[in-house]
Amino acid sequence: MLCFTREHEWISVTDDEEGTVGITDYAQKQLGDVVFVELPEVGSRLLQGAQAAVVESVKAASEVYAPASGEVIAVNTALAEDPARVNTDAMGAGWFFKIRLDDPGELAGLLSEGDYREHVEALH
The residues binding another protein (CB under 8 A) are 33, 35-36, 38, 56-61, 83-84
> Shortest approach of another protein to residue 91 CB, angstroms?
21
Q: Are 71 and 41 in contact (CB under 8 A)?
A: no
d(CA 22, CA 7): 11
Is the Cβ of residue 7 or residue 56 nearer to another protein in the bound state? 56
> Shortest approach of another protein to residue 81 CB, angstroms?
9
Is the Cβ of residue 20 or residue 76 nearer to another protein in the bound state? 76
Is the Cβ of residue 84 or residue 107 nearer to another protein in the bound state? 84
> Shortest approach of another protein to residue 39 CB, angstroms?
12
- DSSP one-letter string for 16-34: TSEEEEEE-HHHHHHH-SE
> Shortest approach of another protein to residue 32 CB, angstroms?
8
Residue 27, sorted as left (phi over 0), alpha (psi -120 to 50) or beta, turns out to be alpha
Is the Cβ of residue 96 or residue 116 nearer to another protein in the bound state? 96
Q: Are 85 and 22 in contact (CB under 8 A)?
A: no
